[in-house]
Protein backbone atom coordinates (compact mmCIF):
# COMPACT_ATOMS: atom_id res chain seq x y z
CA UNK A 1 0.00 0.00 0.00
CA UNK A 2 1.11 3.56 -0.60
CA UNK A 3 1.31 6.12 2.22
CA UNK A 4 -2.11 7.38 1.14
CA UNK A 5 -3.60 3.92 1.58
CA UNK A 6 -4.16 3.39 -2.15
CA UNK A 7 -3.12 0.01 -3.51
CA UNK A 8 0.14 0.04 -5.48
CA UNK A 9 -0.18 -1.97 -8.69
CA UNK A 10 1.82 -5.19 -8.59
CA UNK A 11 4.42 -5.09 -11.37
CA UNK A 12 6.76 -7.98 -12.19
CA UNK A 13 10.47 -7.07 -11.92
CA UNK A 14 10.79 -7.34 -15.70
CA UNK A 15 8.37 -4.41 -15.99
CA UNK A 16 8.53 -0.86 -14.65
CA UNK A 17 5.53 1.27 -13.76
CA UNK A 18 5.87 4.73 -15.28
CA UNK A 19 4.73 7.98 -13.73
CA UNK A 20 1.89 7.88 -16.25
CA UNK A 21 0.55 4.72 -14.65
CA UNK A 22 1.60 2.45 -17.51
CA UNK A 23 3.67 -0.68 -17.03
CA UNK A 24 6.52 -0.99 -19.54
CA UNK A 25 9.25 -3.44 -20.41
CA UNK A 26 12.03 -2.43 -18.02
CA UNK A 27 14.46 -1.49 -20.80
CA UNK A 28 12.06 1.15 -22.10
CA UNK A 29 11.33 2.93 -18.85
CA UNK A 30 14.34 4.95 -17.74
CA UNK A 31 15.68 6.96 -20.68
CA UNK A 32 13.23 9.37 -22.33
CA UNK A 33 14.27 8.42 -25.87
CA UNK A 34 14.09 4.71 -25.07
CA UNK A 35 10.64 5.24 -23.59
CA UNK A 36 9.43 7.01 -26.74
CA UNK A 37 10.97 4.29 -28.91
CA UNK A 38 9.40 1.55 -26.78
CA UNK A 39 5.98 3.18 -26.82
CA UNK A 40 5.85 4.29 -30.46
CA UNK A 41 8.14 2.11 -32.57
CA UNK A 42 9.41 -1.13 -31.11
CA UNK A 43 7.08 -3.95 -32.07
CA UNK A 44 4.87 -1.78 -34.30
CA UNK A 45 4.46 -3.28 -37.80
CA UNK A 46 6.62 -1.39 -40.28
CA UNK A 47 6.15 -1.88 -44.04
CA UNK A 48 7.64 1.30 -45.49
CA UNK A 49 10.54 0.30 -47.75
CA UNK A 50 12.81 3.24 -46.92
CA UNK A 51 12.31 2.94 -43.19
CA UNK A 52 12.90 -0.83 -43.38
CA UNK A 53 16.14 -0.17 -45.23
CA UNK A 54 17.05 2.32 -42.52
CA UNK A 55 16.36 -0.22 -39.78
CA UNK A 56 18.42 -2.82 -41.64
CA UNK A 57 21.38 -0.43 -41.81
CA UNK A 58 21.07 0.87 -38.25
CA UNK A 59 20.82 -2.65 -36.82
CA UNK A 60 24.11 -3.35 -38.60
CA UNK A 61 25.70 -0.24 -37.13
CA UNK A 62 24.42 -1.25 -33.69
CA UNK A 63 26.45 -4.48 -33.60
CA UNK A 64 28.69 -4.25 -30.54
CA UNK A 65 27.01 -1.08 -29.27
CA UNK A 66 23.91 -0.16 -27.29
CA UNK A 67 20.76 0.66 -29.24
CA UNK A 68 20.35 3.95 -27.37
CA UNK A 69 23.62 5.09 -28.95
CA UNK A 70 22.12 4.46 -32.38
CA UNK A 71 18.83 6.15 -31.51
CA UNK A 72 20.59 9.29 -30.37
CA UNK A 73 22.65 9.36 -33.54
CA UNK A 74 19.76 8.51 -35.88
CA UNK A 75 19.20 12.10 -37.06
CA UNK A 76 22.89 12.29 -37.97
CA UNK A 77 22.71 8.95 -39.76
CA UNK A 78 19.73 10.17 -41.75
CA UNK A 79 21.63 13.28 -42.75
CA UNK A 80 24.77 11.33 -43.65
CA UNK A 81 22.90 8.73 -45.73
CA UNK A 82 20.36 10.89 -47.58
CA UNK A 83 17.50 9.85 -45.28
CA UNK A 84 18.25 6.29 -46.38
CA UNK A 85 17.01 6.73 -49.91
CA UNK A 86 18.48 3.56 -51.52
CA UNK A 87 19.24 5.19 -54.87
CA UNK A 88 21.12 8.10 -53.34
CA UNK A 89 22.99 5.84 -50.94
CA UNK A 90 23.92 3.45 -53.75
CA UNK A 91 25.41 6.40 -55.65
CA UNK A 92 27.79 7.28 -52.80
CA UNK A 93 31.48 6.96 -53.63
CA UNK A 94 34.78 6.28 -51.90
CA UNK A 95 35.14 10.00 -51.26
CA UNK A 96 31.84 9.88 -49.37
CA UNK A 97 33.16 6.98 -47.32
CA UNK A 98 36.31 8.95 -46.44
CA UNK A 99 34.19 11.98 -45.53
CA UNK A 100 31.92 9.95 -43.26
CA UNK A 101 34.91 8.39 -41.53
CA UNK A 102 35.63 11.89 -40.24
CA UNK A 103 32.04 12.50 -39.12
CA UNK A 104 31.92 12.11 -35.33
CA UNK A 105 28.12 12.41 -35.36
CA UNK A 106 27.79 8.84 -36.69
CA UNK A 107 29.57 5.54 -36.02
CA UNK A 108 32.86 5.83 -37.87
CA UNK A 109 33.33 2.23 -38.97
CA UNK A 110 34.55 1.72 -42.53
CA UNK A 111 33.08 -1.75 -42.90
CA UNK A 112 29.63 -0.67 -41.75
CA UNK A 113 29.64 2.47 -43.89
CA UNK A 114 30.66 0.49 -46.96
CA UNK A 115 28.08 -2.18 -46.11
CA UNK A 116 25.34 0.46 -46.00
CA UNK A 117 26.25 1.57 -49.53
CA UNK A 118 26.47 -2.04 -50.69
CA UNK A 119 23.15 -2.88 -49.06
CA UNK A 120 21.52 0.00 -50.92
CA UNK A 121 22.75 -1.51 -54.18
CA UNK A 122 21.39 -4.88 -53.07
CA UNK A 123 17.98 -3.28 -52.39
CA UNK A 124 17.92 -1.79 -55.89
CA UNK A 125 18.75 -5.19 -57.36
CA UNK A 126 15.78 -6.91 -55.71
CA UNK A 127 12.98 -8.25 -57.89
CA UNK A 128 10.48 -7.41 -55.15
CA UNK A 129 10.15 -4.76 -52.48
CA UNK A 130 12.34 -5.09 -49.43
CA UNK A 131 9.14 -5.07 -47.38
CA UNK A 132 7.73 -8.08 -49.23
CA UNK A 133 11.05 -9.89 -48.96
CA UNK A 134 11.53 -9.31 -45.25
CA UNK A 135 7.95 -9.81 -44.19
CA UNK A 136 7.97 -13.14 -46.01
CA UNK A 137 10.04 -14.42 -43.08
CA UNK A 138 7.77 -13.13 -40.31
CA UNK A 139 6.38 -15.99 -38.25
CA UNK A 140 2.60 -16.33 -38.01
CA UNK A 141 1.31 -14.17 -35.13
CA UNK A 142 -1.06 -16.80 -33.79
CA UNK A 143 -0.05 -19.58 -31.45
CA UNK A 144 3.01 -17.76 -30.09
CA UNK A 145 3.22 -17.46 -26.32
CA UNK A 146 3.95 -13.92 -25.15
CA UNK A 147 7.21 -13.75 -23.19
CA UNK A 148 6.93 -13.19 -19.45
CA UNK A 149 10.62 -12.48 -18.80
CA UNK A 150 13.61 -11.61 -20.95
CA UNK A 151 14.83 -15.17 -20.48
CA UNK A 152 11.83 -16.16 -22.63
CA UNK A 153 12.97 -13.96 -25.53
CA UNK A 154 15.25 -15.70 -28.04
CA UNK A 155 18.29 -14.09 -29.62
CA UNK A 156 17.94 -16.13 -32.81
CA UNK A 157 15.04 -18.00 -34.39
CA UNK A 158 14.67 -20.26 -37.44
CA UNK A 159 12.95 -17.35 -39.20
CA UNK A 160 15.75 -14.86 -38.48
CA UNK A 161 18.31 -17.44 -39.57
CA UNK A 162 16.43 -18.01 -42.83
CA UNK A 163 16.13 -14.25 -43.42
CA UNK A 164 19.85 -13.80 -42.79
CA UNK A 165 20.73 -16.57 -45.23
CA UNK A 166 18.48 -15.15 -47.95
CA UNK A 167 19.75 -11.58 -47.53
CA UNK A 168 23.35 -12.73 -47.61
CA UNK A 169 22.67 -14.66 -50.81
CA UNK A 170 21.43 -11.40 -52.32
CA UNK A 171 24.57 -9.48 -51.38
CA UNK A 172 23.56 -7.88 -48.06
CA UNK A 173 26.13 -7.54 -45.28
CA UNK A 174 25.93 -7.17 -41.49
CA UNK A 175 22.71 -9.21 -41.56
CA UNK A 176 23.52 -12.06 -39.19
CA UNK A 177 20.71 -14.10 -37.57
CA UNK A 178 20.90 -12.22 -34.25
CA UNK A 179 20.85 -8.85 -36.01
CA UNK A 180 17.90 -9.97 -38.09
CA UNK A 181 15.95 -11.07 -35.02
CA UNK A 182 16.53 -7.63 -33.49
CA UNK A 183 15.20 -6.16 -36.74
CA UNK A 184 12.14 -8.45 -36.56
CA UNK A 185 11.47 -7.16 -33.05
CA UNK A 186 11.92 -3.50 -33.94
CA UNK A 187 9.72 -3.69 -37.05
CA UNK A 188 6.85 -5.66 -35.55
CA UNK A 189 7.50 -8.91 -37.42
CA UNK A 190 7.47 -10.35 -33.92
CA UNK A 191 6.02 -8.72 -30.81
CA UNK A 192 8.24 -9.31 -27.80
CA UNK A 193 6.67 -6.80 -25.42
CA UNK A 194 6.47 -8.70 -22.17
CA UNK A 195 3.19 -9.86 -20.69
CA UNK A 196 1.78 -7.02 -18.62
CA UNK A 197 3.41 -4.26 -20.67
CA UNK A 198 0.81 -1.76 -21.83
CA UNK A 199 2.05 -2.22 -25.43
CA UNK A 200 1.46 -5.95 -25.34
CA UNK A 201 -1.38 -6.84 -27.66
pTM of the model: 0.90
pLDDT higher than threshold 80 for residue 10: no
For residue 23, which phi and psi values (nearest 5 degrees)?
A: -85, 135
- Active-site residue identified among 27, 37, 42, 135: 37
Mean pLDDT of 65-81: 95
- Active-site residue identified among 41, 67, 114, 166: 67
What gap in Å lies between CA 37 and CA 157, rounded to an integer?
A: 23
pLDDT attached to residue 201? 67
Q: Domain segments of the chain: what residues?
A: 49-186
Mean pLDDT of 168-172: 98
Is residue 198 among the annotated active site residues? no
Was 25 annotated as part of a binding site? yes
Was 197 annotated as part of a binding site? yes
Was 57 annotated as part of a binding site? no
Question: Which CATH number is correct for 49-186, 1.20.1090.10, 1.20.1250.20, 3.30.470.10, 1.10.340.30?
Answer: 1.10.340.30
Is residue 42 among the annotated active site residues? no
- Active-site residue identified among 59, 135, 159, 181: 59
135-153 per-position pLDDT tens digit: 999 998 777 789 999 899 9
pLDDT attached to residue 93? 98
Was 109 annotated as part of a binding site? no
Highest mean pLDDT (candidates 9-18, 25-34, 59-68, 99-108): 99-108
Is residue 37 among the annotated active site residues? yes
Amino acid sequence: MSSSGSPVPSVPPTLVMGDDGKARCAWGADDAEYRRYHDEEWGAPLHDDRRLFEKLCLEGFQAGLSWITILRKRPAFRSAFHDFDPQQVADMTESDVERLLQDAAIIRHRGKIEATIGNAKAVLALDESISDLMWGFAPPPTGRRRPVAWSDVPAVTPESTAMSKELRSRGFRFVGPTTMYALMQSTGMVDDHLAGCWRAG
